[in-house]
A and B are shown apart, each in its own frame.
Chain A
Amino acid sequence: MALRPCGTYDQSYAQDMAILRTRLQWILLIVGLVILFTAPLYLPGRWLNLMNLIGISLIAVLGLNILTGYCGQISLGQAAFMAVGAYTSGVLTAKLGWSFWAALPCAALSAGIVGVIFGLPSLRVKGFYLAMATLAAQFIIPALIAHPLEGITHGVRSLIVPVPKIGGVAFTSPAQIYCIIIPIAVLMTFFAKNIVRTGVGRAFIAIRDNELAAEVQGVNVFAYKLLAFFICSVYAGIAGSLWAHWMRALNPDHFSLIDSIWYVGMMIVGGLGSTAGAVFGVAFLRILDEATKVFVMWLSSVFIAWGAFLQAAFGPIVYGLVIVLFIIFEPRGLAHRWEIFKISYRIRPFAY
């Protein structure tokens, strides 16, 4: 971030380190937040549900981004860790009658612990092998939920989760649950942005850039890797808990390998190692997904003969193609494009 808007000088360290440096940035942030928080007043339910899904996915992808984008450990098991959080929260509220607000931290913690367990192989293996270890989590966790724990999770017959409540107010409709999901998503974005600006975040980046060099410098590589797994899974657990109370019916099939690939794909499309990138990636792919659904519905009403296949085939083709094209042509993701746009805007009218 070498380029500043013209006339902006830092006069203290606090100014130098601030995320938001100019008045315009503050105004944009506040206006954006106001629009975001007043959205239930004027957006229709369908849009709010899309926003809810974006919020939940954003939390999961932010966690993954800390693990993969900053600490450099590949994980293909984010959906499985979400399942842990979702089922913890679901069972605590549905079976034991806890309130949602007590179940949420428990869900985060339990997912975090499971994440650390599956992060243990990172002591010995890295890169591709670690991806396989997390892939194992992706198969083992849903199978455990579906079979040995069937007594408490109801397995494939779906667990019905109660509506979250504050006092006497129940959060049922999309607009009401929006009021829970979006503030938490904003808060988690704030944390994610700041975790990587601390010493812990710098240790993560050191591990990503060169593990041996980081260890020689005195970074406890194993502890920090497990911490990265813990943070990543805590995010997944919170996302899972919100998912549980948003869908209000849980099934192990909701947390399959495809979902994990979606989360990694969102992170790649947005841009690795960038909090803004996570937001862009999630919003882009979720909106694309929704647009594809609408388009296919229209297409299959025009070409009725193909209908059924079209609906099943079109989504995977579009999604797979987008990810492949992004990796080949813009591996640094939308965040990189955004940086280019910001820089060219700042130095306008000059070209360089």
Chain B
Amino acid sequence: MQELLQYIANGLMVGGIYALIALGIVLVYKSTSIFNFIIGQMMMFGAFFFWMFAQQFNWPIWLSLLAALAASAGVGLLVERLTLRPLIGQPLLSSVLVTLAMAYLLNGIAMGIWGAYQQRLPDFLPGARVVVGGIVFAHDLLWSFGLAMVVFVLLLLFYQRTRAGLAMRATADSHQIAQARGIDVRRIFALSWALCGVIAGIGGMLLAYRLGVSQFLSLVGLKAFPAVLFGGLDSVLGALVGGLTVGILENLAGGLIDPWMSEITPYIILLLVLIIKPDGLFGVKRIERI
């Protein structure tokens, strides 16, 4: 029983990071209809920037944090401007493949700049682990879970209360009508990618605190894809629920059945969701017209 609860707690905490990454994907998908396959690489870049500013340049932690977030927002902007804007109106396969190829390209660039060795981040998260009733909560996981919740609430407020958020929701509904109403759709695209870069940067730093900074970080992004589809591609709430669910199921499968099961459980969930409920739990159903 104790063990089971521990797995669930761990899953919930790790799920926080998946939810955070999933939020980034949903944010971009809602306004641009492009699935962000390179979010893993954006996370890796965020973590590497932070490591470079804090350890190599010896900047203070707060400054390196802000600079790293700004830099990963810049990566998002660059990707959007250079590769995805020329593809507006092109078939789906182009945007899928261009993001996958960019992922490969960014891996190469990161390898060229920072090398292939694993690096340690400085100790930037205060606090210690918490034990409640024999269940251990690691403090970095608590931080990531908490930050995921904060980002979730901020994102909801942003969508509900700000003009830019309203413009983004309008763009999500229809690019053409939004443009006709005087919304600069290209600016919205750029804003979405920059915000996604910031979110990915936060996720990357939190993960790197636990796993170290290396090429491996980009693989974690792949685990967020099932979470996004589970909740529905265009639902902010879905990303949160999907992330947590995938985290918990993954930990349960890995702990109770076999460690290697944790690798593929998210994808088995993905297949089942696609067959049973293709739009995800909270996704908008699209009806096809001739």
Contacts and interface: CB of A to CB of B under 8 A. Distances in A.
Contacts of A213: 290
A265 B97 contact: yes
Contacts of A308: 116
A140 B96 contact: no
A321 B111 contact: no
A44 interface: no
Contacts of B264: 139-140, 143-144
A320 B258 contact: no
Interface string A250-271: 0000000110010011001000
Contact of A121 (B100, B107, B111, B271): B271
Q: Is the interface of A mostly helix, strand, loop or mixed?
A: helix
Given A129-B278, A143-B263, A136 B108 contact: no
Taking each of A124, A146, A327, which has the highest tally of chain B beta carbons within 10 Å of its own beta carbon?
A327
Interface in A118-135: 118, 120-121, 123-125, 127-129, 131-133, 135
B271 A328 contact: no
B97 A264 contact: yes
Nearest to B92: A127
Contacts of B226: 136
Interface size class of A (residues with CB under 8 A): 35 or more
Contacts of B112: 309-310, 313-314, 317
A212 B111 contact: no
B83 interface: yes
Taking each of B35, B109, B270, which has the highest tally of chain A beta carbons within 10 Å of its own beta carbon?
B270
A261 B83 contact: no
B225 interface: yes
A127 B33 CA distance: 12
A212 B278 CA distance: 18
Contact of B86 (A76, A123, A319, A328): A328
A323 interface: yes
A40 interface: no
Contacts of B101: 261, 265, 319-320, 323-324, 327
B275 interface: yes
B220 interface: no
A327 B98 contact: yes
A68 B97 CA distance: 12
B235 to A, nearest CB: 15
Interface of B: 35, 83, 86-87, 90, 92-94, 96-98, 100-109, 111-112, 115-116, 222, 225-226, 229, 258, 260, 263-264, 267-268, 270-271, 274-275, 278, 288, 290
28 contacts: A68-B93, A118-B271, A120-B275, A121-B275, A123-B275, A124-B274, A127-B92, A132-B229, A133-B271, A136-B267, A136-B274, A143-B264, A147-B260, A265-B97, A272-B93, A310-B112, A317-B112, A319-B101, A319-B105, A320-B101, A320-B102, A320-B106, A320-B108, A323-B101, A324-B105, A327-B94, A327-B97, A328-B86
